[in-house]
Amino acid sequence: MPAELVCFEPSCRTRFTVTEVIYNCPKCGSLLEATYPDWKLDVEAVKSLWRARRICNSPLDQSGVWRYREIIPFLENFDAVVSLREGNTPLLAGAKAAQYGGLDRLVFKHQGFNPTGSFKDNGMTCGVAQARRLGMRRVACVSTGNTSASMAAYASAAGLEPLIFIPHGNISYGKLAQALEYGARTFQVEANFDQILALVRVLAERLGIYLLNSINPFRIEGQKTIIVEMLDQRDWTVPDWIVLPGGNLGNTSAFGKALRELKQLGFISKMPKLAVIQAAGAAPFYELFHASRRDRLDPVGHPETLATAIKIGDPVSWPKALKEVSETHGVVEKVSEQEIADAKAVIGKCGIGCEPASAATLAGIRKLTAAGTMRRDADVVAVLTGNLLKDPDYIYRYHTGQLESPDGARIHPTFGNQPIVVPNDTEKIAALL
């Protein structure tokens, strides 16, 4: 299966070989995507093959990304692949969350069960494989934390040198700790995510470092498998809605591409709607989606949210995301800091838990059902993008009534759960119980 890189801009569509080290179209500057000319699959045979691989012991089949390798056929062989058993993330029903969100039922696809605790691992195993195939020695990314944690792990496991650039003071300690422990050279830059991305692109070009941000089309290929695995787990029953948080919009692009390709290849016959949820203080895609003209995204100069994973004002993948959300007849919603914090606590009370950005999904669902956009009896899958332990500081502050939104407003601990300090005294504790 010969793969190609194709310019995403409909008026350009210039094609490049898959081994060129490019991230944007050299002709027009637009985003690139991997495509597979004359792509056909025997759908029923491939579905059975994917199911059978679940009980195989080879690392490639144990991976919840490479098990689905027929849907991401950009490599000629798998010599360059390093797997940490990514993917294989569960579908978890959350009854309390459904009720809170105004739904009869709600299922979470929990990407926090990945080896480094976020959905980035699905894409990173592919990005790092491509880096090795190209013979690159050093890889780099700017990150709000999860990409860097994931890249550090995969690059180190693959024998590459990981270089990480993060906004100083603006990522959670859990994520920074991962980057350090996985052995990445970590630069805390005094700038925001969008500014650092521009800087890293220049450095990557000048020093021949392979860039592993989500503009990298091979990362997008890997993230497609989140959708494929979810549909496989549901025996290919397509939900009405897939809800996800939006930051740099790589994941929205990946989900849309997966759904488009699965429909084109005959795996599914209808499309679910995509609902992308942004934090109100970092919602340029929401504004674009609701604007009368959608030809240009107005960046948010100073994005603000405690959900630091999605604190991005100038998302690079907006043209792809806009096309994908529109094609599914989906929606874009925004939610406040209070709404994110409360939704997160409700997901926690289900025994599931997630990091703040992920909880934007449930907060968004609650708004969409209240507005009548999403029906109470709809079949909804919300994607939890990161693990609860990524940001424990936020959790402690919420439950003890100390959490403040970036504008200084106190967040009310609606579902607060204070730890109780007690003396070492059986009677006194028994009395409290």
Can residue 361 be called a binding residue for ligand F0G (CB under 6 A)? no
* Residues 309/386, Cβ–Cβ less than 8 Å: yes
Euclidean distance between CA atoms 237 and 392, whole angstroms: 35
Structure tokens at 289: 């989606």
Count the neighbouring beta carbons within 10 Å of the beta carbon of residue 351: 9
Cβ distance to ligand F0G smaller for residue 101 or 245 = 245
- Is position 319 an interface residue for ligand F0G (rule: CB under 6 A)? no
Q: Which stretch binds ligand F0G (CB under 6 A): 12-20, 51-59, 249-257, 416-424?
A: 249-257
Is 386 an interacting residue with respect to ligand F0G (CB under 6 A)?
yes
> What's the closest the beta carbon of residue 315 comes to ligand F0G, in angstroms?
7
| Residue 199 near residue 224 (C-beta atoms within 8 A) | no
Asked if 89 touches ligand F0G (CB under 6 A), the answer is: no
Strands 107-110 and 380-384: parallel
Residue 186 three-state SS: strand
- 217 belongs to the binding site for ligand F0G (CB under 6 A): no
CA-to-CA distance for 355 and 384, rounded, in angstroms? 8
Selected binder of ligand F0G within 94, 174, 222, 247 (CB under 6 A): 247
Out of 83, 216, 358, 361, the only residue in the binding site for ligand F0G (CB under 6 A) is: 358
Closest CA to 196 of 130, 248, 159, 265: 248
Q: Which residue lies nearer to ligand F0G by CB, 62 or 114?
A: 114
Q: Are strands 185-189 and 161-167 parallel, antiparallel or unpaired?
A: parallel
| Per CB under 6 A, 353 contacts ligand F0G | no
Does position 32 interact with ligand F0G (CB under 6 A)? The reply is no
118 is an interface residue for ligand F0G by CB under 6 A: yes
Burial zone of 406 (CB within 10 Å; 0-12 exposed, 13-18 middle, 19+ buried): middle
274 binds ligand F0G (CB under 6 A): no
Side-chain-side CA neighbours of residue 420 (13 Å): 8
145 counts as binding ligand F0G under rule CB under 6 A: yes
Residue 214 near ligand F0G by CB under 6 A:
yes
* Burial of 186 (C-beta count, 10 Å sphere; 0-12/13-18/19+): middle
Of residues 275-294, those binding ligand F0G (CB under 6 A): none
Q: Name the residue nearer to ligand F0G (CB basis): 239 or 386.
A: 386
Q: Which parts of this chain interact with ligand F0G (CB under 6 A)?
A: 118, 120, 143-147, 214, 245-252, 309-310, 355, 357-358, 385-386
